[in-house]
Structures are given as structure tokens and as C-alpha cells.
């Protein structure tokens, strides 16, 4: 149960961080002025500030796709740089069968047309890979071709069109689409705490922040009650398991006084007898630790669907996802249990000395 609590708390916290990053698009997503002459100095100042480790440019706007039969489908257009976007955006486990890098690979330059990956949305089901259409932004139009169909992409829902930013800029003047809420965006990863250059004076706007979003996930009452209960049980069970281990070893030692007396009468030293008890306790510790890790992980895996439904509001309705029993959490859990059980074994040796084991052995010999 101690392992179960450790695994589940770690899994929930990691899942919230992954989902927050996915929904925000990056560690932080900021809006830049639409005019490139105003955006470029701010972009350069942010990237040279040392407050970020990776960045990717993007452009977002409301657009219309007009197919060859004249059907018009409105949706969200997101133009990204295929070279830099995979460094900042990523999917949580289980959300997509593709990676961001795999998706952007199908946005290569295509002669005279704009490559577009469309959403697997009801309004777009009649389109397939290779179909051409007209992409309209404001009063500007360009020919596009479907190069892929996906279900998900960071920050996008509903009917959306994902395209190549340099290719779009070559064919459409994006600065002219202000009436459709066109927005230059800068996706940042590895962002230091605090405001970035231009945020405090309003020159750039903070569109999303993964840290703030993750913190908002943890404010739900059900989530807080669940995490508090798991952590309380973890600490209480750690103490009770150590105490139970100590009492079991102490009881075993007292029940074996006669056996130990015979062994001493046959020439065994009292020091060796104490180490015998200690070694048996250590073997039981290692065996119990292995069984506990396996059963705790299995219990967490079995409870994942149930608790995932209970905590759906704190996980953006995506579920718990894979359990976070990585090497670090495994070593941490094992170290804590080994330390607590090791202290119990040391206390066992101390109590055996206090029980005057040697005197008891002499009485049996007499």
C-alpha cells in the first residue's frame, strides 16, 4: 500500500504536468504583434534574455477551407515552423499515435501549393490525402493540398488546419488578416520563472503557461482530498509496516530462545547468533520489499481506471495515463523502505540485548 500511494501520487503529478504542457502548447506561449517589424525586436530580446532554452514561431488565425465542390469549412489555422516546433511541443502518453516531429515531417514544401494537415473532424471527413482546396484568410486566398489527417495537435480542437509557416508566409501576407484575429505566437520551452521581456509593459501577451495550468489542475476539491488521503496513508502505512516488521522479528527471536540455547551449547558464539537473527531479518526485508513493489504497482494499475474517472476534472478528461514508476521513483521508494526497515533491524538488536539474551541462554543450559 505504501508503494501504491507513492506510485499513484507520482503518476498524477506527472500526468498533470504533461497535460498542462500539451494544452498550453509549450512551457509558455506568448503573443507577438502581427506586424513583423514590431515583432522581430521583441522576439530577439526574449531569445537573448537567457530565460528560455528553446523556441518555435507560429501563426494562428480563423480561416476557411473551400473544397473543389465549393463547400466552405471554417476552422482554426495554425502555421508552424517544422524545423523548430518538435523541440518545444509534445504529446502526453496515450493522446496521439504520432509525435509532433512525425506530423511536421508531412509539411514539406510542395510546388505552387501549401501543404496542410487537417483534423479528423466530421466537417472534413470527405477530404483525403492529396485533395486540393482553396485556403482563405480574410480576402486572400492560396491553393492548398492535404498531406495528412490527424486527431490531435497541441492547443487545437475541433476543425483545424495545420500548415507550414514559411510556405504560408510566401503566399499570403499574414499581417493583413487582423480582422480575423490573426496572431503571431512564440512557443517557448525551458522558461525561467517570472515575466519575460515585454510582458510587464504589455508589448507581448501571455497566451498560456504550463506551470499556471498545472497548478490550476491541483486546486480541485476532489483532487486535493485524494492526494491528501494518499499521502497520509503513505506515511502512516510506512510507520505501521516498519513497526509490524520489528514486532514480527522480535516475536520470532523470543520464540527461538531454546533453539539458540542449543546452538550455543554446541559452541556457537552469542555474537554469531545475533547476526543470524539479523541476517534472517534482512532476507525477509528484501523478499518483502520485492513482493511489496510488485503488488503495489499491480494495485496502482488496477485502480488507475477507477481513480482516473474520479479525478477526470483535474486531468482535463484525459485519464491518468501510464504509471510513473520510473527508476528515480523506484529507487526513492526502495530507499525509504530499506531505511525504515533497517532502523527496525537495528532496534531489534538493541531490544534483544535489553532482553538479556545471554542470561536466558545460560538458564536453558543449566
Residues 175 and 228 in one domain: no
Residue 281: the pLDDT is 67
Q: How far is it, in rounded angstroms, from Cα 84 to Cα 56?
A: 5
Are residues 168 and 236 located together in one domain of the fold?
no
**Rounded distance between C-alpha atoms, residue 9 and residue 298, angstroms:** 15
**Is 71 in the same domain as 182?**
yes
pLDDT 10s per residue in the chain (366 long)?
Answer: 777 777 777 888 888 889 999 999 999 999 998 888 888 899 999 988 888 899 999 999 999 999 988 999 999 999 999 999 999 999 998 888 899 999 999 998 888 899 999 999 888 988 999 999 999 998 889 999 999 999 999 999 999 999 999 999 999 888 776 556 788 999 999 888 888 888 888 888 899 999 999 888 888 777 787 788 877 877 777 777 767 766 776 676 666 666 666 666 666 666 776 677 667 767 777 777 677 777 777 777 777 777 767 676 677 667 676 676 656 666 766 677 677 666 766 766 666 565 555 555 454 454
For residue 30, being part of any structural domain is answered with no
Report the pLDDT value the prediction gives residue 150, as an integer from 0 to 100. 95
Same domain for 180 and 315? Answer: no
The pLDDT value recorded for residue 222 is 78
| Closest to 177 (Cα-Cα) out of 164, 186, 167, 168 | 168
pLDDT at 297: 72
Judge whether 23 lies within some domain: no
pTM of the model: 0.76
Residues 155 and 233 in one domain: no
In a domain, 208, yes or no: no
Q: Output the CA torsion 130→132→135→140 (10° steps).
A: 140
Residue 322 in any domain: the answer is yes
Q: How far apart (Å, rounded) are the C-alpha atoms in residues 248 and 351?
A: 13
C-alpha distances (whole Å) from 259 to each of 266, 347, 365 are 11, 22, 11
Is there a domain that residue 65 lies in? yes
Residue 349 lies in a domain: yes
Answer yes or no: do 170 and 75 share one domain: yes
Angle at 280 between CA 277 and CA 283, to 5 degrees: 150
Same domain, 182 and 231: no
Are residues 148 and 254 both part of a single domain?
A: no
Decide: 246 and 347 in contact? Cβ < 8 Å: yes
Residue 80: what pLDDT? 96
Task: Please identify, among 142, 169, 186, the residue that sits at the C-terminal boundary of a domain.
Answer: 186
Instruction: Report d(CA 32, CA 6) in Å as an integer.
Output: 42
- Residues 252 and 119 grouped into a single domain: no
Q: Decide which of 126, 161, 186 is a domain's last residue.
A: 186
- Print the domain residue range for 159: 55-186
Structural domain ending residue among the three candidates 186, 210, 237: 186
Secondary structure in 3-state letters for the chain? CHHHHHHHHHHHHHHHHHHHHHHHCCCEEEEECCCHHHHHHHHHHHHCCCCCCEEEEEEEEEEEEECCCCCEEEEEEEEECCCCHHHCCCCCCCCCCCCHHHHHCCCCCECCEEEEEEECCHHHCCCCCCCEEEEEECCEEEEEEEEEEECCECCECCCEEEEEHHHHHHHCCHHHCHHHCCEEEEEEECCCCCCCCCCCCCCCEEEEEHHHHHHHHCCCHHHHHHHHHHHHHHHHHHHHHHHHHHHHHHHHHHHCHHHHHHHHHCCCCHHHHHHHHHHHHHHHHHHHHHHHHHHHHHHHHHHHHHHHHHCHHHHCCCCCCCCCCCHHHHHHHHHHHHHHHHHHHHHHHHHHHHCCHHHHHHHHHC
Closest CA to 11 of 296, 337, 300: 300
> Per-residue pLDDT tens for 61-100?
999 999 988 999 999 999 999 999 999 999 998 888 899 9
pLDDT tens sequence across 155-212: 999 999 999 999 999 998 887 765 567 889 999 998 888 888 888 888 888 999 999 9
First to last CA, the chain: 47
- Contact status, residue 161 vs residue 77, Cβ threshold 8 Å: yes
324 touches 11 (CB < 8 A): yes
> Are residues 230 and 179 located together in one domain of the fold?
no
Q: How many CA atoms lie within 13 A of 323 on its CB side?
A: 21
Q: Are residues 226 and 355 in the same domain?
A: yes
Tell me if 314 is assigned to some domain.
yes
* Number of domains comprising the chain: 2
Which set of grid coordinates corresponds to residue 358? 545471554
> Is residue 194 domain-resident?
no
What's the confidence (pLDDT) of residue 299?
73
Is the four-CA dihedral 214, 215, 218, 221 of positive or negative sign?
A: negative
The answer to whether residues 139 and 60 belong to one domain is yes
271 burial via Cβ count (<10 Å: 0-12, 13-18, 19+): exposed
Give residue 182's pLDDT: 83
Amino acid at each position: 500500500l505504501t508503494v501504491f500511494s507513492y506510485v499513484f501520487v507520482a503518476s498524477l503529478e506527472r500526468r498533470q504536468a504533461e497535460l498542462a504542457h500539451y494544452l498550453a502548447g509549450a512551457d509558455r506561449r506568448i503573443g507577438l504583434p502581427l506586424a513583423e517589424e514590431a515583432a522581430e525586436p521583441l522576439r530577439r530580446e526574449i531569445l537573448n534574455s537567457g530565460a528560455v532554452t528553446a523556441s518555435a514561431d507560429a501563426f494562428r488565425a480563423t480561416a476557411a477551407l473551400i473544397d473543389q465542390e465549393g463547400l466552405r469549412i471554417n476552422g482554426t489555422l495554425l502555421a508552424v515552423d517544422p524545423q523548430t516546433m518538435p523541440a518545444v511541443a509534445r504529446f502526453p502518453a496515450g493522446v496521439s499515435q504520432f509525435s509532433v516531429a512525425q506530423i511536421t515531417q508531412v509539411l514539406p514544401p510542395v510546388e505552387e501549393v501549401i501543404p496542410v494537415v487537417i483534423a479528423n473532424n466530421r466537417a472534413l471527413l470527405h477530404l483525403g490525402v492529396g485533395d486540393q482546396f482553396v485556403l482563405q484568410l480574410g480576402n486572400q486566398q492560396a491553393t492548398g493540398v492535404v498531406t495528412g489527417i490527424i486527431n490531435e495537435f497541441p492547443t487545437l480542437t475541433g476543425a483545424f488546419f495545420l500548415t507550414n509557416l514559411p510556405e504560408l508566409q510566401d503566399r499570403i501576407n499574414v499581417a493583413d488578416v487582423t480582422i480575423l484575429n490573426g496572431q503571431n505566437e512564440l512557443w517557448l520551452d525551458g522558461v525561467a520563472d517570472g515575466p519575460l521581456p515585454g510582458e510587464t509593459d504589455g508589448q507581448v501577451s501571455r497566451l498560456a503557461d504550463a506551470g499556471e495550468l498545472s497548478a490550476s489542475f491541483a486546486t480541485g476539491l476532489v483532487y486535493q482530498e485524494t492526494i491528501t488521503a494518499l499521502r497520509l496513508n503513505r506515511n502512516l502505512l510506512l510507520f505501521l509496516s516498519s513497526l509490524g516488521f520489528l514486532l514480527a522479528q522480535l516475536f520470532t527471536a523470543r520464540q527461538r530462545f531454546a533453539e539458540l540455547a542449543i546452538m550455543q551449547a554446541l559452541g556457537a558464539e552469542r555474537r554469531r547468533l545475533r547476526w543470524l537473527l539479523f541476517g534472517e531479518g534482512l532476507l525477509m526485508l528484501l523478499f518483502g520489499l520485492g513482493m511489496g513493489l510488485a503488488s503495489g504497482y499491480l494495485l496502482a494499475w488496477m485502480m488507475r481506471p477507477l481513480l482516473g474517472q474520479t479525478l477526470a476534472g483535474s486531468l482535463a478528461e484525459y485519464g491518468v495515463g501510464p504509471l510513473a514508476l520510473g527508476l528515480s521513483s523506484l529507487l526513492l521508494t526502495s530507499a525509504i523502505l530499506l531505511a525504515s526497515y533497517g532502523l527496525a533491524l537495528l532496534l531489534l538488536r538493541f531490544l534483544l540485548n535489553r532482553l538479556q539474551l545471554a542470561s536466558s541462554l545460560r538458564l536453558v543450559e543449566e
